[in-house]
Amino acid sequence: MKNKDDNRILPSEIPSESSFFERRALLGGLLAGATLPSALVSAQQAAVSGAKAAAGAGTPAGGGTASGASLHATPPRYTRNAALSVREPPNSYEDITTYNNFYEFGLDKSDPAEKSGSFRPLPWSVEIGGEAEVTGRYALEDLLRPHALEERIYRFRCVEAWSRVVPWLGLPLGALLQRFKPTSRAKYVEFTTLLDPRRMPGQRVGVLDWPYVEGLRIDEAMHPLALLVVGVHGRWLPNQSGAPLRLIVPWKYGFKSIKSIVRIRFTERQPRTSWNLSAPDEYGFFANVNPAVDHPRWSQAKERRIGGSFLGSRIDTLPFNGYANEVASLYRGMDLRRFY
Contacting residues toward other proteins, per CB under 8 A: 91, 94-95, 98-99, 103, 107, 109-110, 160, 162, 164, 205, 207-208, 278-279, 294, 297-299, 304, 306-307, 310-312, 314
Shortest Cβ 81–other proteins spacing (Å): 26
Q: List CB contacts of 336: < 8 A, sequence separation 6 or more.
A: 286, 288, 290, 292, 293
CB nearer other proteins, residue 298 or residue 339: 298
CB nearer other proteins, residue 208 or residue 330: 208
CB nearer other proteins, residue 109 or residue 120: 109
Shortest Cβ 110–other proteins spacing (Å): 6
Shortest Cβ 167–other proteins spacing (Å): 16
d(CA 259, CA 249): 12
Shortest Cβ 162–other proteins spacing (Å): 6
CB nearer other proteins, residue 31 or residue 205: 205
Give the CA radius of gyration of the chain.
Answer: 19
Locate the DSSP E strands across 94-134: 125-130
Residue 48 burial (CB count, 10 A):
15
- In angstroms, the Cα distances linking 233 to 48, 64, 95, 131, 306 are 27, 28, 11, 35, 16
Locate the DSSP E strands across 31-139: 78-80, 125-130, 136-139
Shortest Cβ 101–other proteins spacing (Å): 9
CB nearer other proteins, residue 212 or residue 331: 212
The answer to whether 42 and 53 have CB atoms below 8 angstroms apart is: yes
β-bridge mates for residue 85, sequence order: none
CB nearer other proteins, residue 13 or residue 95: 95
SS3 content of the chain, % helix, strand, coil (to 5): 30, 20, 50
d(CA 203, CA 199): 9
Shortest Cβ 48–other proteins spacing (Å): 26
